[in-house]
Amino acid sequence: MVRLLRTNAFRLGALYLALFAASVLALLVFIYFSTADFIERQTEATIDAEITGLREQYEDRGLPGLLEIIHARSTAQHGNTSTLYLITDAALHPIAGNLSAWPQAQHIRAGWIGFPLEVRTRDGPVQSNALASVFVLPDGFRLLVGRDLRDASAFRSRITRTLGWSALLTVALGVAGGLFMTRNMLRRVDAVNRTSERIIRGDLTQRVPLTGSGDEFDQLAGNLNAMLDRIERLMLGMRQVTDNIAHDLRTPLSRLRARLEVTLLERPDAGRYAEALRETVAEADRLLGTFNALLSIAEAEAGSRRETMAVVDLAEIARSVGELYEPVADEKGLALTIDNDARLPVHGDRHLLSQALANLLDNALKYTPAGSVALRAHGVDGSARVEVADSGPGVPADRREAVFDRFVRLEGSRSTPGNGLGLSLVRAVAKLHGGEAWLEDNNPGLKAVLTLPMADRSALAATRNAA
């Protein structure tokens, strides 16, 4: 309850309630005064009509006629003395009417007087007030016509009571509704809080429950859940990467350590030391290579570079990577041909794409003892397709998927340097870009294919102009 009072929702609710209550109160006060005013006018109109009637009688029938009428009216409404009559002479001695003496009257406003009145009822005398008007007859006689205000004041107090109750009811309903709504809102916020507390304590699988109403709380919960899903995926990816790196680097590091230990046990001479150090440096280089390759794969798989991807020209990337490998091909006596479309816009990461193409070219040149290597980059059916075909020994059909796994190398390749990570990166990069990578028979040799969805040509032009 105390917490409820401190919430924003409650404060807002209280403010609205106060405004609402104030306007309802203003309305009730207005109703009260206009009703009271109406009752008063009504009383005055009745008295006015009575006096007008009596004056006409007086003009027609003179004083005796008037006295007769007053007498008749005073006795006729015996017990129901809501209309008061009194005729006195010039010295204010009563002559006729249902008032026993000229009252101790107070001037209220022009033409109207008020006075206290004791009315006899069945339950005894009751104090009341009266409103009256006085008409002076030509010969000094005075005619007083008034009304007992008991009914009017009873009506007024009934209205006051009714209005009071409705004010109370309005405020009570407002408070109850406000509490209910605040409570409801707090419950939803609490659900979010509870979930986040559990997540903070380490359970990333927790999700904020949805009510299915599709309201703003549900939208908030949905967005939070989507965010949590993404964080969880990233965390999982990161954990996998660190696990892999730890696992994959342990073997070569142990090997390195074992070699150094054996060398020490051999009681080596200076020449053996030098050789051991050279081997260690080479092994460390390999380790670094593995490390970098693993990091690149992890980066591609985690998709962390997705945010910085832009529209790039795959044809141009292919050409420049191909040109980079021309000296290697020359040295080995292999014929390297490059054939590409003018433009192949793809949405991607230039660095990772270059690395993937370099890995394919590296394989083709590395595993082909003699012959030719062809690099082709063309647009086919709305995708950009890069092929690296060689005339080497190829990969048996049943191994063409396996070689994409990490650290998988074929028997015949053990003599050539390598980690078995090149194709893994190619596949990770393809996936990152929403594309595919696979191996085909080149009869003879191997054909590695990488396809990526083509981006809008105009997008490429736009980025070129911007750059």
Ligand X SMILES: Nc1ncnc2c1ncn2[C@@H]1O[C@H](COP(=O)(O)OP(=O)(O)OP(=O)(O)O)[C@@H](O)[C@H]1O
Interface positions with Mg ion (CB under 5 A) = 363, 422
Number of Cβ atoms within 10 Å of the Cβ of 388? 27
Contact (CB, 8 A) for 69 and 53: no
Comparing every residue's Cβ against Mg ion, the nearest one is 422
Q: How many helices (H) and strands (E) does the chain have?
A: 9, 13
Q: Which of 174, 178, 379, 418 binds ligand X (CB under 6 A)?
A: 418
- The mark string for 316-355 relative to ligand X (x by CB under 6 A, - otherwise) is ----------------------------------------
Contact (CB, 8 A) for 310 and 278: no
Q: Residue 330 belongs to what H/E stretch?
A: helix 314-332
Q: How far is the CB of 276 from ligand X (least distance, A)?
A: 24
Q: How far is the CB of 312 from Mg ion (least distance, A)?
A: 23
Q: How many residues bind ligand X (CB under 6 A)?
A: 23
- Helix or strand or coil: residue 182? helix
Q: How far is the CB of 423 from ligand X (least distance, A)?
A: 3
Contact (CB, 8 A) for 454 and 379: yes
Q: Which of 25, 105, 249, 410 binds ligand X (CB under 6 A)?
A: 410
- The mark string for 375-394 relative to ligand X (x by CB under 6 A, - otherwise) is ---------------x-xxx
What is the C-alpha to C-alpha distance for residues 109 and 131, in angstroms, rounded to an integer? 11
Place of tokens 């990337």: 317
- The mark string for 422-461 relative to ligand X (x by CB under 6 A, - otherwise) is xxx---------------------x---------------
What is the C-alpha to C-alpha distance for residues 205 and 124, in angstroms, rounded to an integer? 83
DSSP assignment letter at 206: -
Q: How far is the CB of 348 from ligand X (least distance, A)?
A: 20
Nearer to ligand X, 145 or 428 (CB): 428
Nearer to Mg ion, 278 or 399 (CB): 399
Distance (Å) of CA 105 to CA 30, 96, 135, 336: 30, 18, 14, 128
Residues linked to residue 380 through DSSP beta bridges, in sequence order: 383
Question: Site residues for ligand X, window 247-276 (CB under 6 A)?
Answer: none
Interface residues toward ligand X, by CB under 6 A: 293, 359, 363-364, 367, 390, 392-395, 403, 408-410, 413, 418-424, 446
